Amino acid sequence: MYVKRDTLEHNDRNDWLNIKRIVYYLQAYRGRAIFALLCLIAAKFANIGVPLVLRDIVDSFDKTAQVLVLPVSLLLAYGALKLANSLFSELRDTVFARVRYHAMRQLSNQVLEHLHNLSLRFHLERKTGAISRDLERGTRSVSTMMNFLVFSFIPIFVEFTLVAAILLINYDGIFALITFGTIAVYALFTVLISNWRINYRHNMNRLDSEANTHAFDSLINYETVKYFNNEQLELTRYDKTLSEWEGMAVKSQTSMSVLNFGQSAIIAIGVTIIMFFAASQVVDGQMTIGELVMVNAFMLQLFIPLGALGIIYRQFKYTLADMDLVFKLLSRTPEIEDKDSATDLNVEQGQIRFDQVHFGYQDDREILKGISFEVPAGQTVAVVGHSGAGKSTLARLLFRFYDVNQGQVLIDGNDVREVKQNSLRRGIGIVPQDTVLFNDTIRYNIQYGKLDATDQEVREAASMAQIEDFIESLPEGWDTKVGERGLKLSGGEKQRVAIARAILKRPAILVFDEATSSLDSTTEQAIQRTLKEISATTTTLVVAHRLSTIVDADQILVMSQGTIIERGSHSELMQANGEYRRMWDLQLESD
């Protein structure tokens, strides 16, 4: 189940485990990562050297004998250290860029692969807009976390350590005490206030995802919105969520101002106290003016990055939440998995058998109730019945999008649960009733059925699907973009593309789920002849509403409320004068 953002404050996260998982993404370029850390340490040594040289420059003005020589050397050293700090910092960024961008690429691929492996149930229940926004944030979070470690936390720790060593070794302990006491108060204040205000940010993200979902859904269903003049409804729903988001955003910004002021006050008090002690020791002759300048420079160097601690901590917490989303998704076990003992299925004959199959999408509602039938190799079996009878569920079980609750689905005597899913689906082709195409060219959508097909094979499949002439008549021909979900094509055009795609695949088993429902009578008759020709050498399962399209089937199954109530050929069922005959007469009347 998709994890909502408002659950993020619950104590079900394992942040340390998630941080450890980042190490996995460093392994491909661990040499670069180590070199980047060495550059970081070198940059901090250079940065700490700057106040030390500055101290000597100031003090050198008291040594009149060397005033013309010594400052020049120190000034050159000062400039060299500044340059070294910049050089090593930029070198660190350049070297580490490959590490973090490769991690983003690796994680993005891993997430997409995992999403494809998750069950159909997950994809039917998900909210596309919200999950796409969360996955974008989650994937980015790994790169952000690496940046925090390499560019924020480790540099601050290294610099604090070096400054602490210098102050404790060379000067009165009061300086180190005040410096790190100020830092401790600053950090504690930042953590407390940030934890108080982070709830606002969580709610902002949750509402942002909800608003994105509303916008996404309304755009996907653009035509439906227009049909019912409900543009204002969609805008109202969208604006209502954004209004709540706006309120949370204002609270977040107000609380951030409190945080920033408090941090500035703590830093100002700490620097004032430390400068008071330094100035007193200069007056007493215990410190030189250069050392006072050095201590002040140390404070500036420490407190400038510390000034961003609130932002860093807040982003760190958000990053942990975002990262947790993506790792929770990756930890989700696919509902349908290959067994360790699964073997490749080589569909030779294409015989299909359903043996006492019971199935329900929910435990409390059974869709199929002991279904048993067989489709002999090379024959055509049609399934008819009223909506909700369970017809389309048969195709989903055949493809093993779900596992049966009881019974077996077999192909050539092999239980589909005992074979590898890729090999199973490789041997089956389908023309779905609701054809959804990729936002690419017509050529791409047809060739999707067989990626290595030649242009000639693609054209032959299009010709058999009665769509080649239409494609050739388009200004851009085969390179015409079909739009998102194929919205630039009519229902009949999309269906013919799907038929061409299935024909091109040339599978041993074909499933037609009302494959000609959107076609005109002339085109339907031409395609029916094509499908009849293909079905002569292919095992075919047809789910049909229009009974006239399946009169030539070798066997017809009539389903009602999850059971098969009649079976036989068209003539046999007509003579039986049962449910099939009533459905036939009803369709004749409606025509």
Residue 153 lies in a domain: yes
* Range in 86-95, 317-326, 463-472 the model is least confident about: 317-326
| C-beta separation of 399 from 374 below 8 A | no
12 and 99, same domain (yes or no): yes
What value does the mean pLDDT take over residues 389-405?
Answer: 88
What's the whole-number mean pLDDT along residues 500-514?
Answer: 87
**Pair (375, 523) in one structural domain:** yes
Q: Is residue 194 a contact partner of residue 317, using CB atoms and an 8 Å limit?
A: yes
Q: How many domains does the chain have?
A: 3
Encode pLDDT of 519-545 as tens digits: 667 767 777 777 777 777 789 898 888
Task: Kindly state whether residues 347 and 324 are assigned to the same domain.
Answer: no
368-375: strand order across its sheet: 368-375, 352-359, 406-411, 414-415
Query: Is the pLDDT at 590 greater than 70, yes or no?
Result: no
Task: Kindly report the average pLDDT of the chain as a whole number.
Answer: 82
In the predicted structure, residue 359 carries a pLDDT above the cut 80: yes
pLDDT digits (tens, 9 = 90+) for 270-300: 888 888 888 888 888 888 888 888 888 887 7
Residue 415 pLDDT exceeds 80: yes
Of 382, 336, 330, 373, whose CA–CA distance to 355 is shortest?
Answer: 373
Identify whether 466 is part of a domain. yes
Average pLDDT, stretch 582-589? 84
* pLDDT value of position 512: 87
| 432 in any annotated domain | no
Question: Which string of DSSP letters, residue by residue, matches 523-545?
Answer: HHHHHHHHHHHHHTTSEEEEE-S
Q: What CATH number has the domain bearing residue 213?
A: 1.20.1560.10
Measured over the CA atoms of residue 262, residue 264, residue 269 and residue 274, the dihedral's sign is positive
At 319-342, the pLDDT tens digits run 777 777 778 777 778 888 888 888
Q: What is the pTM of this model?
A: 0.66
Joined tokens for residue 145 = 């976390």
Confidence at 87, pLDDT banded by 50, 70, 90: very high
pLDDT tops 50 at residue 81 = yes
Is 433 part of a structural domain of the chain? no
Domain end marker among 331, 355, 381: 331
* Domain end marker among 297, 331, 365: 331
Greatest distance between any 2 Cα atoms in the chain: 124
| Residue 408 pLDDT > 90 | yes
Task: Report the pLDDT value the prediction gives residue 60, as an integer from 0 to 100.
Answer: 77
Where is pLDDT greater, at 70 or 258? 258
Residues 206 and 63 in one domain: yes
- Looking at the structure, tell me whether residues 301 and 272 fall in a common domain: yes
Whether residues 250 and 345 fall in one domain:
no
On whether residue 69 sits in a domain, the answer given is yes
β partners of residue 543: 383, 513
Domain hosting 385: range is 339-427+507-591
Q: How many CA atoms lie within 13 A of 137 on its CB side?
A: 22
* Confidence check: pLDDT of 72 > 70: yes
Question: Do residues 266 and 380 share a domain?
Answer: no
Instruction: Let me know if residue 18 belongs to a domain.
Output: yes
Q: How confident is the model at residue 126 (pLDDT cuts 50, 70, 90)?
A: low
For the chain, how many residues are written? Answer: 591
Per-residue pLDDT, 67: 47
Secondary structure class of 276 (helix, strand, coil): helix
Same domain, 495 and 387: no
252 pLDDT band (50/70/90 cuts)? confident
pLDDT digits (tens, 9 = 90+) for 444-468: 999 988 888 899 999 998 888 888 8
**Of 56, 53, 49, which is closest to residue 288 (Cα–Cα)?**
56
Beta bridge partners of 555: 381
Residues 318 and 349 in one domain: no
Question: What is the β-pairing status of strands 380-385 and 539-543?
Answer: parallel
For the cut 50, the answer to whether the pLDDT of residue 3 exceeds it is no
CA distances from 44 to 82, 434, 541 (A): 11, 61, 71
Q: Which residue has the higher pLDDT, 199 or 503?
A: 503
What is the CA angle 157-159-160, rounded to 5? Answer: 65
Q: What per-residue confidence (pLDDT) applies to 2?
A: 35
With 90 as the cut, is the pLDDT of residue 555 above it? yes
Whether 120 and 43 share a structural domain = yes
Q: Residues 523, 348: contact at Cβ < 8 Å?
A: no
Residue 62 has pLDDT above 80, yes or no: no
Mean pLDDT of 472-489: 84
Q: Phi, psi (5° rounding) for residue 46?
A: -65, -40
Percent of the chain with pLDDT over 90: 10
* Cα–Cα dist 455/85, whole Å: 59
Element (H, E) at 542: strand 539-543
Other residues' Cβ atoms within 10 Å of the Cβ of residue 539:
26
Looking at the fold, whether 54 and 111 belong to one and the same domain comes out as: yes
Q: Domain containing 563 — which CATH number?
A: 3.40.50.300
Phi and psi, residue 228, nearest 5°? -105, 15
Q: Compute the average pLDDT of residues 381-390.
A: 85
Is 416 domain-assigned?
Answer: yes
**pLDDT for the residue 133:** 66
Write down the pLDDT at residue 7: 38
Same domain, 327 and 472: no
Burial status of residue 257 (CB atoms within 10 A of its CB: 0-12, 13-18, 19 or more):
exposed
In a domain, 303, yes or no: yes
Across 486-505, average pLDDT: 84
pLDDT of residue 353: 93
Residue after which a domain boundary falls, among 453, 479, 501:
501
Looking at the predicted structure, is the pLDDT value of residue 1 above 60?
A: no
